[in-house]
């Protein structure tokens, strides 16, 4: 009895600490983004955190495209309730028509194309101050610890999450990011004998998560929401069995 | 291109003005008078009076003897200058440079403006017609120099358009008064029987100088275009302008900030009263060393919020060099528009691109890095990938077109398709292997081809056969072959990466 109450108190305290760290009161917000449930499992309290920076490491050009797609999928969940988003980059090669594949309206995204690293950081900080946005995405290879802390302070006020794609960073320094992601492609699965390419599938690696253990999982996108990669295989296997019988 | 000047003469400026205000007076002879040396002298008369033999400079009593029922009005000094100023400002629609030519004309620098009205003759006719509609009798003329256009407008009877470099021939038949000379010189010329310019214009300069003085040569030179003539264009005071003189020259950033805030408060309170907002504004600082420092801002939506506009100016304060100090600040609103009163919404809709907070953010970004950096994309009715989207800067613009074919388009599109080497043994099948940037990719799965033709009405070139391919790592690429398949020299390109 006493032990149970102790655990209860500890769990309560943990929740309070998490709340102070920007994870919010969880029980209410838990179902705000049901589309992100699969991702939320890897985070403390089963809740996808939005008050901070999500950092995506892409060492190859292909990984950058995978990260872009993955972020688009997250954005589509966030933008269903929120306002428009801003996409800041130096060498923008995102092709807006393809965003629709991730249930995103491309005309709801404002692109800001800049040359200078300093300008990108300035615009990023200014954009994060605007509470009407649902998210800000930036493509910058380098982000120092102090720069990220500055952004974190802005985000804590405005509650607008930042997604940063770091394409071929020179070094993986410490930042104040909530999570450091690495998205890689997975060969898509198709029923036997079917021609063509399947749905986008990724192996998602969480290299760093604040207040939780790093993890990795496999996901695919079915056009409206995330799906377990394995689940997709299972469905196919049962389909094949049914076909055989 | 040479300069072209228009001179417009108003022979009955004051009486025309009176006729506009009191139409009944158009039907009777009327004059303006002023007391000079104890006599009442006529200073202006209307067309009817002048037809009956009344001249400017006559004594009123003599005129009354000529015309019995003559209406006389008191003239006010500088009334003609005021009228001309008004007419000059009205003429700004025909050229940006208009100057007053006292006592009874205005000058227009029409260089590079006339072609907008097709020909110079049409340009003049248009101006003349509009002025006549206003009620002013006028005679315009156009020439290469101010002097010639002045002369032709007042003294010529047939041609009013003097072609380029023909001012000499235009002047020949005119009287010497057309050269804008003093009365004493005119009298002397008259005495010597030189009643037309052609009689003396060919005389040696030294002779003319000895007999008539330097001024005659100067005026001839001005009319011919050999001697430059100063053209003083009027400055139209902008409708929305605020000035802030400083007691002492200021040079600190804080002081400049205070100045900007004050000016903005004044300007915005004026704009608010009229329901207007700023779209672009310019701040000028007049330094004590005579230089002018300036900075300007623009907004995405018309705005009259002092705080927001100040933030836009604040981005540029560090670029203003006050030098020894600034003594006068002038804030001009170059473009104003009715402000859209934002109605408070009960809830924010999903597509809230018009929210004031967002446009404030974009204004700040545009102020710092330029408006060109901000873009939104809308679909365009084109299949060719490079033309599938169009840029728009406006937040309110929307397209009725749907975004087409999202499945077959890559999330990253290369700005320029890049060359790849492929092994493609079977016609109209995707390649088996391709090499991009030195790396070999074995293709496991593929979709395609999707043939896209160029828009023939825009450009020539080969069509493209696009394939979506997936290599053994699961990475996906968008490849295409330019033109038809041939075993040896098909050219293959990579154009994008899928997520």
Q: Does A93 touch chain B (CB under 8 A)?
A: yes
Is the N-terminal amide bond of B311 cis, ω within 30° of 0?
A: no
Domain-located, residue B61: no
- Which residues of chain B make contact with A110, given a CB cutoff of 8 A? 353, 362, 374-376, 395
Mean pLDDT across chain B, nearest whole number? 85
- Is pLDDT at B350 greater than 70 in this prediction? no
Please, are residues A159 and A168 in contact by the beta-carbon 8 Å criterion?
no
B455: Cβ contacts below 8 Å, ≥ 6 apart: B382, B384, B387
pLDDT of res. A207: 92
Nearest CA to B141 out of B237, B330, B8 is that of B8
Cβ B475–A84 below 8 Å, yes or no? no
pLDDT at position A180 is 93
**A231: closest CA of chain B, how far (Å):** 18
Paired tokens of B189:
């010329």
Q: How far apart, in Å, are the Cα atoms of B304 and each of A244, B282, B324, B336, B339?
A: 72, 14, 32, 10, 8
Contacts of A187 in chain B (CB under 8 A): 444-445, 470, 472-474
What pLDDT, on a 0 to 100 scale, did the predictor assign at position B342?
A: 55
Are residues B358 and A119, on separate chains, in Cβ contact within 8 Å?
no
Cα B79 to Cα B269: distance, rounded to the nearest angstrom: 34
HSE (side-chain half, CA atoms, 13 Å) at A117 = 7
Interacting residues of B98 by C-beta distance below 8 A, sequence separation 6+: B88, B89, B91, B92, B106, B107, B108, B109, B233, B234
Stretches in chain A below the pLDDT threshold 70: 1-2, 22-32, 192-193, 232-233, 236
**Average pLDDT estimate for B488-493:** 86
- How does A56-83 read in b/e, with b if 16+ C-beta sit within 10 Å? bbbebbbbbbbbbbbbbbbbbbbbeebb
| Among the four given CATH numbers 3.40.50.920, 3.40.50.1980, 3.40.50.300, 3.30.2420.10, the one describing domain A32-244 | 3.40.50.300
- Please say which residue of B301, B320, B338 terminates a domain: B338
Domain contains B204 = no
Domain that holds residue B264: 241-338
Mean pLDDT of B173-180: 87
**How are beta strands B292-303 and B326-338 bridged, if at all?**
unpaired
Output the domain CATH number for residue B249.
3.30.1490.100
Q: Is the pLDDT of residue B193 over 80?
A: yes
Mutation target to probe the A interface, by most A beta carbons within 10 A, among B354, B379, B474 is B474
Pairing of strands A109-113, A226-228: unpaired
Contact B137, B50 (CB under 8 A): no
Say which residues have a Cβ less than 8 Å from residue B219's Cβ, sequence separation at least 6: B147, B179, B180, B181
Structural domains of chain B, count? 2
What pLDDT is recorded for position A107?
85
Q: How far apart are CA B197 and CA B183, in angstroms?
A: 16
Inspect the interface and report whether the beta carbons of A72 and B374 lie closer than 8 Å.
no
The structure tokens listed for B261 are 């805030």
Asked whether the ipTM of the predicted complex exceeds the cut of 0.90, the reply is no
Partners of residue B389 in chain A, C-beta under 8 Å: 95-97, 106
Please write the tens of the pLDDT for every residue from B260-293: 999 999 988 888 888 888 888 899 999 888 888 8
Residues B173-184, mean pLDDT to the nearest whole number: 87
Q: Which of B315, B338, B361 is the last residue of a domain?
A: B338
The interface residues of chain A toward chain B in range 26-45, judged by CB-CB distance below 8 A, are none
Dump pLDDT digits (tens) for B324-346.
888 899 998 888 888 766 555 55
Q: Which of residues 120-159 of A touch B (CB under 8 A)?
A: 122-123, 126-127, 129-133
Q: Which residues in chain B are contacts of A124 at CB distance < 8 A?
A: none
Residues of A in contact with B447 (CB under 8 A): 195-197
Task: Verify whether the Cβ–Cβ distance A106 to B377 is below 8 Å.
Answer: yes
CB-CB neighbors (< 8 A) of B382 in chain A: none
Q: Is B314 on the interface with A (CB under 8 A)?
A: no
Answer yes or no: is pLDDT of B352 > 80. Answer: no
Chain A residues whose beta carbon lies within 8 Å of the beta carbon of residue B398: 107
Contact state of B499 with A95 under an 8 Å Cβ cutoff:
no
CATH of the domain at B482: 2.30.30
Tell me which residues of chain B, numbers 378 to 437, contact chain A at a CB-CB cutoff of 8 Å: 378-379, 385, 388-389, 395, 398-399, 403-407, 409-415
Neighbours of A47 (CB within 10 A): 20
Does residue B464 sit within a domain?
Answer: yes
Residues B333 and B416 in one domain: no
A10 close to B (CB below 8 A): no
Return the domain boundaries, chain A: 32-244
How close is the nearest chain A Cα to the Cα of B350, in Å? 6
Task: Answer yes or no: do B476 and A100 touch at CB < 8 A.
Answer: no
- Does residue B279 form part of some domain? yes
Minimal-distance CA residue of chain B relative to A122 = B365
Check if A59 contacts B (Cβ < 8 Å): no
B373 is a domain residue: no
Nearest Cα of chain A lies from the Cα of B492 at a distance, in angstroms, of: 19
Range of lowest pLDDT (A111-125, B184-198, B353-367): B353-367
Which residues of A fall within a CB distance of 8 Å from B358? 83-84, 130, 132-133
Distance from B417 to chain A by nearest Cα, in Å?
A: 12
Contacts of A113 in chain B (CB under 8 A): 373, 375
Query: What tokens does B361 get?
Result: 């953010």
Residues of B in contact with A188 (CB under 8 A): 445, 470, 474
In tens, the pLDDT along B395-421 reads 777 777 877 766 688 999 999 999 999
How many Å lie between the alpha carbon of A161 and the closest alpha carbon of chain B? 16
Q: Are B403 and A100 a contacting pair at CB < 8 A?
A: yes
Q: What is residue B431's DSSP assignment?
A: -
Where a domain ends, among B300, B316, B338? B338
Q: Which residues contact A49 (CB under 8 A, 6 or more apart)?
A: A22, A23, A43, A178, A179, A210
Model pLDDT for residues B429-458, shown as the tens digit of each residue: 888 999 999 999 999 888 878 888 888 888
User: Is A97 part of the contact surface with chain B (CB cutoff 8 Å)?
Assistant: yes
Q: Establish if B447 touches chain A: CB-CB under 8 angstroms.
A: yes
Does the distance separating the beta carbons of B415 and A187 come in below 8 Å?
A: no
Nearest to A185 among B405, B447, B475 (CB): B475
């Amino acid at each position: 009895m006493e032990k149970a109450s102790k655990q209860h108190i500890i769990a309560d305290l943990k929740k309070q600490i998490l709340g102070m760290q920007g994870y919010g009161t969880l029980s209410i917000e838990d179902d705000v983004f049901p589309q992100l449930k699969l991702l939320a499992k890897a985070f403390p309290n089963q809740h996808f955190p939005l008050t901070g920076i999500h950092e995506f490491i892409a060492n190859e050009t292909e990984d950058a495209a995978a990260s872009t797609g993955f972020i688009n999928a997250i954005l589509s969940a966030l933008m269903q309730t929120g306002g428009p988003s801003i996409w800041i980059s130096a060498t923008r090669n995102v092709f807006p028509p393809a965003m629709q594949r991730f249930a995103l309206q491309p005309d709801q995204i404002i692109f800001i194309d800049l040359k200078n690293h300093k300008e990108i950081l300035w615009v990023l900080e200014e954009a994060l101050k605007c509470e009407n946005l649902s998210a800000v995405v930036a493509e910058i290879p380098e982000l120092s610890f102090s720069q990220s802390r500055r952004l974190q302070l802005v985000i804590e006020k405005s509650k607008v999450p930042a997604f940063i794609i770091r394409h071929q960073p020179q070094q993986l320094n410490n930042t104040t990011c909530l999570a450091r992601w690495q998205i890689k492609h997975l060969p898509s699965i198709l029923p036997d004998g079917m021609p063509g390419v399947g749905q986008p599938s990724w192996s998602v690696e969480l290299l760093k998560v604040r207040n939780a253990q790093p993890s990795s999982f496999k996901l695919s996108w079915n056009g409206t929401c995330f799906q377990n990669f394995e689940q997709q295989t299972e469905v196919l296997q049962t389909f094949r069995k049914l076909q055989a019988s | 291109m040479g300069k072209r000047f228009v001179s417009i003469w108003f022979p009955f400026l004051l009486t025309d003005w009176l006729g506009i205000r009191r139409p009944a007076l158009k039907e009777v002879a009327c004059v303006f008078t002023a007391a000079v040396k104890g006599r009442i002298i006529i200073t202006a008369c209307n067309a009817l009076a002048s037809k009956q033999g009344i001249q400017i400079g006559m004594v009123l009593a003599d005129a009354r003897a000529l015309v019995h029922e003559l209406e006389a009005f008191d003239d006010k000094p500088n009334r003609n200058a005021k009228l001309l100023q008004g007419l000059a400002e009205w003429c700004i629609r025909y050229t940006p440079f208009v100057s007053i030519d006292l006592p009874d004309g205005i000058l227009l620098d029409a260089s590079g403006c006339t072609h907008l009205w097709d020909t110079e003759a049409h340009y003049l006719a248009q101006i003349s017609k509009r002025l006549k509609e206003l009620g002013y009798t006028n005679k315009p003329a156009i020439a290469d120099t101010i002097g010639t256009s002045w002369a032709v407008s007042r003294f010529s009877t047939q041609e009013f358009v003097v072609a380029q470099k023909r001012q000499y021939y235009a002047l020949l038949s005119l009287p010497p008064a057309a050269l804008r000379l003093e009365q004493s010189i005119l009298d002397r010329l008259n005495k010597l029987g030189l009643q037309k310019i052609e009689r003396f214009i060919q005389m040696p300069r030294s002779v003319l100088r000895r007999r008539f003085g330097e001024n005659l040569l100067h005026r001839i030179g001005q009319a011919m275009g050999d001697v430059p003539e100063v053209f003083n264009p009027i400055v139209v005071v902008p409708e929305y302008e605020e000035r802030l003189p400083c007691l002492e020259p200021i040079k600190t950033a804080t002081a400049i900030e205070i100045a900007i805030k004050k000016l903005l408060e004044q300007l915005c309170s004026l704009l608010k009263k009229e329901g207007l907002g700023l779209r672009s504004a310019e701040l000028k600082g007049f330094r004590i060393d005579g230089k002018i420092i300036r900075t300007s801002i623009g907004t995405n939506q018309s705005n009259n919020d002092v705080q927001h506009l100040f933030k836009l100016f604040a981005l540029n304060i560090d670029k203003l060099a006050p030098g020894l100090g600034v003594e006068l600040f002038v804030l001009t609103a170059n473009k104003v528009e009715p402000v859209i009163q934002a109605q408070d919404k009960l809830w924010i809709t999903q597509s809230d691109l018009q929210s004031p907070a967002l446009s404030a953010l974009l204004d700040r970004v545009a102020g710092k890095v330029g408006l060109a950096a901000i873009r939104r994309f809308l679909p365009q009715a084109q299949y060719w990938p490079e033309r599938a989207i169009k840029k728009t800067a406006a937040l309110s613009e929307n397209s009725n077109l749907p975004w087409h074919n999202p499945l077959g388009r890559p999330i990253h599109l290369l700005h320029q398709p890049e060359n790849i080497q492929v092994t493609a043994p079977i016609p109209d099948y995707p390649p088996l292997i391709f090499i991009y940037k030195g790396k070999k990719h074995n293709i496991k799965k593929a979709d395609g081809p999707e043939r896209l033709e160029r828009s023939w009405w825009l450009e020539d070139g080969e069509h493209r056969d696009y394939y979506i391919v997936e290599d053994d790592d699961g990475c996906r690429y968008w490849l295409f072959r330019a033109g038809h398949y041939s075993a040896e020299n098909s050219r293959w390109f990579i154009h994008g990466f899928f997520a």
